[in-house]
């Protein structure tokens, strides 16, 4: 079975002809404006949610810290995920929206660049680290906080065209 994967390695851009991992050569690709949006959900007890909303978390401003962590993480994606290209990021936003129905927070990360490759991994990294930071900042209130549903919502630009995840 492994041989079958490697015999089609020309279709798998992160593998060379011997099946070894490689960084994709994007030097021949067209520079284009590319944007990606990702989301994550953080679920917690109603009491934890109420404390964060009231600004009563022991470690301080949970949401501001998580937002900043997500932005910083997007900028470090190439250092965290093997084979990701370092990209000049022109826009990074992390929005953390309260959701009483969870209870918890919906996190949205938007990343934009003008480059030869897309920013899906940067958007996914932003929401992942924002969610982890939210957990870290609130774990003194509750250890059972759940991070859920980290997903790409949409992407625009590039050869493969636009993508929208219609589950959102």
Cis ω before 121 (30° cut-off from 0): no
Q: Does 44 carry a binding-site annotation?
A: no
Give me the percent of the chain exceeding a pLDDT of 90. Answer: 76
Quote the pTM value. Answer: 0.87
Sorting pLDDT into bands at 50, 70 and 90, what band is 25?
A: confident
Q: Does 23 carry a binding-site annotation?
A: no
Q: Does 148 carry a binding-site annotation?
A: no
Beta bridge partners of 107: 40, 96
Residues that are catalytic: 136
Locate the domains of the chain by residue range: 24-164
What per-residue confidence (pLDDT) applies to 59? 94
Q: How far apart are CA 45 and CA 144, in angstroms?
A: 8
Q: What is the CATH class of 24-164?
A: alpha beta
Q: Does 14 carry a binding-site annotation?
A: no
Residue 55 has pLDDT above 80, yes or no: yes
Please write the tens of the pLDDT for every residue from 122-150: 999 999 999 999 999 999 999 999 999 99
Sorting pLDDT into bands at 50, 70 and 90, what band is 8?
A: very low
Q: Which is it for the CA torsion 81, 135, 71, 119, positive or negative? A: positive
């Amino acid at each position: 079975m492994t041989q079958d994967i490697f015999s089609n390695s020309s279709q798998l851009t992160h593998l060379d002809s011997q099946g070894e991992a490689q960084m994709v050569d994007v030097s021949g690709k067209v520079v284009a404006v590319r944007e990606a949006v990702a989301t994550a959900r953080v679920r917690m007890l109603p009491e934890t949610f109420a404390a964060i909303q009231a600004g009563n978390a022991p470690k301080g401003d949970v949401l501001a810290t998580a937002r900043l962590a997500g932005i910083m993480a997007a900028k470090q994606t190439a250092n965290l995920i093997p084979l990701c290209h370092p990209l000049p990021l022109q826009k990074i936003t992390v929005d953390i929206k309260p959701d009483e129905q969870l209870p918890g927070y919906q996190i949205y990360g938007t990343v934009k660049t003008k480059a030869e490759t897309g920013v899906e991994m940067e958007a996914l990294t932003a929401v992942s680290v924002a969610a982890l930071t939210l957990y870290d900042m609130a774990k003194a209130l509750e250890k059972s906080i759940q991070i859920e549903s980290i997903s790409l919502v949409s992407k625009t630009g590039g050869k493969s065209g636009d993508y929208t995840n219609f589950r959102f």
